[in-house]
Structure 1
Amino acid sequence: MSGPSSGGSGDKLVVWDWKSGDASAAPYLEKAKADFAKGHPDVEVEFVAQPFDQYYTLLGAAIQAGKGPDVILFNGGGQIRDRVGSLVPLDEYVSGDQQRLAGWDAFKKDGKTYAAPVTLQGHPLYYNKDLYKRAGLDPEAPAKTWDEFVEDCGAITGKTGSKCIGVGNKEGIGIQFFLSAMGSAVLTPAEYDAWIAGKRDWSSPNVKRVFELWRQADAAGLNNEGVNSTAMFNDAFAVFQSGKAAHVIGLMSDVGHWKDFAEFLNPADVGVMAAPVVNPAATPSLPYDGGIGYGVAKWTRDPKRAADLVRSLTSTEALKAFYADAGAIAADTTIDVSGGGPAVTAIVAGIKTGKPALHVALSSKTIDLMGRLSQQLLSGSVTVDEAVAQLAASDGAS
């Protein structure tokens, strides 16, 4: 673990992230460094990999001290929006990349851009086609409605012994995945768009229905045992990969995604399905945003030079390597993924009609509260009405 370090010197830039320690990210970073070196041959770039579970705490200490890394990796949404006061707006530096890269909105606040997207992140509903076959179901025709889904789950469990859904909520993350993956199957398109725009009606029957489904699915035995004691990373994904659950709400990039699953399951058996419709007035869509992106610290000595590094970290050649080696769904829309298999093909096709993920629109404070309340919903110590009332109060004060 590294504590706050001073920013780069005149011939050095320091980057904080949680990815550079991963072997699968090495080719991506080498491509990015080589691209940056073309214009800055005498500038050293140092990547400091921080542990993700402490990342924002360590970053907070650096921000409070007013010194630290020059370039910083962020998750899109609340984590970066809560810290834009410590970042340089990048609009003048990245205007030429606006068309090539997708996912910018997750790194914007008040009309200004504070990071450039590296990946797109979203929450597909994956399913195991082999378990469908063993249960006598058509693996190419997953359920369209929630009632059909529950019926199929009964057949899968009855004939294979596998649970319906692999879920981990020890960290309170499972509810984020569930809200965003199932939200478009419950909320009307108008409600969905209003939520993303910040006009959230927590007392809406459809919003309450999402949280009721969260509780009911567990009470009905659709989930693996002990959801509140199962870590999302990576125990819940292991339940799916091992064939002990037929479905999992995973990620598009990073971990718990199509490339990871294909290492344990036959790639042809890793399916992606639309969220089963709960409300006939809803229109299911793939929830996604900018996943991770690099921003520039306000204290860096040369913002333009640091922004040049950000541009190299989002260059096409670097992102091609990130896709090929790590399975990231890169923000670069020019990258060809047609050879990646049926799951990634389905995911990329869904991007065309996808919408931002519901949980990403929330502040980090409200997300933390939602995690705690989601655990209490499963344990029965809070009602849905009580939970949404608390969330409404938190969201209104954000």
Structure 2
Amino acid sequence: MRKMRVGLLAVVVCFMVTIVAFAADPVTITIWDFKYGDAGVQETMQKVDELVMQQNPGIKIEHVAQPNNEYYQLVRAAVQAGEGPDVVMFHGGVQAYEFDDYTLELDNYIQPWRDEISEFSWAFCSTGGDGSKPVHLVPITTQGMGIYYNKALFKQAGLDPDKAPADLAAFLDACEKLKQAGIVPITAGLQGAPYTVDFLFRTLVANIYGADTEALVTGGQSFAGNAGFMKAAEIVKELFQKGYMDPDGTSTPYFMDAANNFAAGKGAMFVGLLSDVCHWKVFSDGLGKDNVGYFPTINFPEAPYQDQQVGQPAGIGYSIMAWSKNPDAAAKVIEGYARGEGAAIWMGETGALSPNKNLDINKLGYPLVGEILKRSFNRDFVTLLTNEDANQNFDRYCAQAYVADEMTLEKFVEAAQGMLENAKDQ
């Protein structure tokens, strides 16, 4: 009996020592990302980190800001070395797919709360974007594009501030009335990459192909020979020819100058993002929560669909690297960003749209969020393209056709079709 008591005492002592050691030396999870260095974002991420650590006392988070301009080179270097952070932030899509062989499958970790995020997002975050394969990325934002408008400037031009243009005729009429009133109809950022044109095209494509955008890279749909796509190209050209695009746009970068101009009331409409930057929160804070209207696209007869919302299933997200020695703890960290109070803090303070359906958007106090999220998303065609086409070539074609005016619309359509052909070959 005495030996048994001594043995039990030894077990208890060992157990207590283990607890003390764990409490004194928590598991450290290192995160790399390209957002943490942003002054307006870091404070929010620190709040989420603190929350996650409070909820998981055995975890310590070491958040490392990496420079945007060489971020993926640094991740590739870590992969070559076979060591680095536990968790890495990726853009959803091709940038994440490049590292699928070096990131963990997450299905078992997300299984208890998977239904909080739509399969539209999870499929995009799976191996190579194939929803039948394992998930490698937990999305913390969704992305998309749409058209914001300044209600006060609409009213000043004699337009109904509470009524967004219903179709192309109404849109062009609004542009003309704004111009005649001395108001810039469309605040534009065209210097460097002409994102205003790029993003406008994506909103128009949503009306042309609806939920069938994936058929653009399987052969079921095309840009070439499609009357709707050619009409979209003509619409954008007309906006330039009639002076509806900001004449100073050619010398204005989209990020962040053009967005700041719109937020300061220098222009009536802006083709903006739904998340990350240049979005509903920035404009509502700048112009007033009740002074910003929104519509997802321009309806026109040649497009079979109306009021379609273009979206990306995942803007950014987190993956666990295969070399992590503490994947269970790492999974708790990224879960803390994707759901619950952490996701609410992230969305409420940064304006990043969370893909989590359980968040109460009414608590945010921004009516525009409900206006955006009342529509289901159709997949942004650019997410189907190869990396070079998605990030460089389409912007180059837009610049040549509209900013420099050195490419015919026929050649523009031909070049855009070439991007689809490249994607089919992948």
Number of the residue aligned with 1:287: 310
Number of the residue aligned with 2:422: 394
1 CA distance for matches of 2:62 and 2:138?
19
Deviation at 1:195, TM superposition (A): 3.4
Q: Does 2:121 match 1:74?
A: no
Q: Does 2:151 match 1:141?
A: no
**Structure 2 portions without partners, runs of 5+:** 1-24
Q: Does 2:361 match 1:337?
A: yes
Q: Quick one: structure 1 residues 393 and 152, their matched pair in 2 at CA, closer, same or farther if it must change by over 3 Å?
A: same
Is the contact between residue 200 and residue 271 of structure 2 (CA under 8 Å) also seen in structure 1? Answer: yes
2 CA distance for matches of 1:346 and 1:296?
34
Q: Quick one: structure 1 residues 214 and 298, their matched pair in 2 at CA, closer, same or farther if it must change by over 3 Å?
A: farther
2 CA distance for matches of 1:196 and 1:107?
18
Q: Does 2:375 match 1:347?
A: no
Query: Equivalent residue of 2:161, what SS?
Result: coil
Is the contact between residue 193 and residue 399 of structure 2 (CA under 8 Å) also seen in structure 1? Answer: no
Is the contact between residue 271 and residue 342 of structure 1 (CA under 8 Å) also seen in structure 2? Answer: no
Q: Quick one: structure 1 residues 284 and 358, their matched pair in 2 at CA, closer, same or farther if it must change by over 3 Å?
A: farther
User: Cα deviations across residues 210-253 of structure 1 (Å, max 9, x unaligned)?
Assistant: 34433443233221135454322111212312322211121222
Is the contact between residue 190 and residue 250 of structure 2 (CA under 8 Å) also seen in structure 1? Answer: yes
Q: Percent identity?
A: 25
Deviation at 1:200, TM superposition (A): 4.7
Q: Does 2:392 match 1:364?
A: no
User: Cα deviations across residues 142-201 of structure 1 (Å, max 9, x unaligned)?
Assistant: 21111220111000111133233434452354444223222223x143643523878552
Alignment of 1:176-325 (within 5 A): 176-185=198-207, 187-189=208-210, 191-192=212-213, 194-195=215-216, 199-205=220-226, 206-225=228-247, 227-278=249-300, 279-288=302-311, 289-325=313-349
Question: Structure 2-normalised TM-score?
Answer: 0.82
Flag the structure with more relative contact order, 1 or 2, with Cα contacts below 8 A and sequence separation at least 6: 1
Number of the residue aligned with 2:64: 48
User: Cα deviations across residues 54-96 of structure 1 (Å, max 9, x unaligned)?
Assistant: 3223323333433322211112222212332222121121112
Question: Structure 1-normalised TM-score?
Answer: 0.87
Alignment of 1:77-116 (within 5 A): 77-102=93-118, 103-108=121-126, 109-110=129-130, 111-116=133-138
Is the contact between residue 10 and residue 301 of structure 1 (CA under 8 Å) also seen in structure 2? Answer: no
Q: Quick one: structure 1 residues 212 and 95, their matched pair in 2 at CA, closer, same or farther if it must change by over 3 Å?
A: farther
Number of the residue aligned with 2:150: 128
Deviation at 1:269, TM superposition (A): 1.0
Q: Does 2:180 match 1:164?
A: no
2 CA distance for matches of 1:48 and 1:225?
41
Q: Quick one: structure 1 residues 182 and 202, their matched pair in 2 at CA, closer, same or farther if it must change by over 3 Å?
A: closer
Q: Quick one: structure 1 residues 245 and 196, their matched pair in 2 at CA, closer, same or farther if it must change by over 3 Å?
A: farther
2 CA distance for matches of 1:160 and 1:360?
38
Q: Quick one: structure 1 residues 219 and 65, their matched pair in 2 at CA, closer, same or farther if it must change by over 3 Å?
A: farther
Query: Equivalent residue of 2:369, what SS?
Result: helix
Aligned Cα root-mean-square deviation (Å):
2.6
2 CA distance for matches of 1:372 and 1:104?
31
1 CA distance for matches of 2:356 and 2:187?
31
Number of the residue aligned with 1:6: none
Q: Quick one: structure 1 residues 183 and 386, their matched pair in 2 at CA, closer, same or farther if it must change by over 3 Å?
A: closer
**Structure 1 portions without partners, runs of 5+:** 1-8
Deviation at 1:316, TM superposition (A): 0.7
More deviation, 45-54/164-173? 164-173
Residue identity opposite 2:278 in structure 1: G
Q: Quick one: structure 1 residues 169 and 147, their matched pair in 2 at CA, closer, same or farther if it must change by over 3 Å?
A: farther
Query: Equivalent residue of 1:140, what SS?
Result: coil
Deviation at 1:136, TM superposition (A): 0.4
2 CA distance for matches of 1:78 and 1:214?
28
Q: Quick one: structure 1 residues 389 and 27, their matched pair in 2 at CA, closer, same or farther if it must change by over 3 Å?
A: closer
Number of the residue aligned with 1:15: 31
Deviation at 1:299, TM superposition (A): 2.3
Number of the residue aligned with 1:30: 47
Is the contact between residue 129 and residue 139 of structure 1 (CA under 8 Å) also seen in structure 2? Answer: yes
Residue identity opposite 2:310 in structure 1: P
2 CA distance for matches of 1:211 and 1:57?
35
Number of the residue aligned with 2:12: none
2 CA distance for matches of 1:300 and 1:115?
15
1 CA distance for matches of 2:268 and 2:41?
27
Bigger radius of gyration, 1 or 2?
2
Is the contact between residue 166 and residue 223 of structure 1 (CA under 8 Å) also seen in structure 2? Answer: yes
Is the contact between residue 149 and residue 292 of structure 2 (CA under 8 Å) also seen in structure 1? Answer: yes
